[in-house]
Amino acid sequence: MAEGRITVSELEERLAVVYAARYEADLLPPFADLPDPDAIVAHPERAVPVDVPPVVLRAGMSTIKRSGAWDVPPRLRLQSAMGSVVLDFCDTVIRHPVVDIEVDLGAGSAKLLVPDEATANVDGVVATMGTVKSSVPSVPRPGMPHFVVHGRAGMGSVTVRRRYRIAGRYF
């Protein structure tokens, strides 16, 4: 349904069949016309190969901060129980057209500071009690870095924005 393949009413009908199923064979009709879940689905904005393992940053109850010139991998996974992750992409060279960022936040936070010309799509982040904020355009622009943020923010927050400049200092 999230990909637009079926409507809400079709989903409800299929779920009713699934919940009423008594045998494995009863589960075949609701899934018959859906694509193989193990098949690679092409997302036009995700130009990152799925076979590239992500670089995992674990904050626990601490803070992880990356700024200045650092090597930006094509895929990142940010995990934080109660800590914070601050990634500043503004002063580094981004070698990949798309940077895929998966967030897994308990009560922690993730702040992504992106370059002025960059775009970011945060539609894939599910926040149960947390917040997701983005002040940058979500539609990719040719030749500009694009960030795809997805995952979950339990009670945490995900913020994507540009850096603020006040009195010659960046925040």
Are residues 59 and 35 part of one domain? Answer: no
**Of residues 120, 122, 72, 121, the one with CA closest to residue 92:** 72
Q: Which residue has the tokens 């930006």?
A: 72
Q: What range defines the domain where residue 146 resides?
A: 52-170
* Of 35, 99, 23, nearest in space to 66 by CA: 99
Residues 119 and 160 in one domain: yes
**Number of domain units in the chain:** 2
- Shared-domain flag, residues 108 and 139: yes
Q: What is the pLDDT of residues 35-59, one digit of tens each?
A: 665 544 444 454 555 678 999 999 9
Looking at the structure, do residues 23 and 95 belong to the same domain, yes or no? no
Q: Is the pTM of this model over 0.85?
A: no
In a domain, 46, yes or no: no
Per-residue tokens: 118 = 């960059």
Q: Are residues 116 and 161 in the same domain?
A: yes
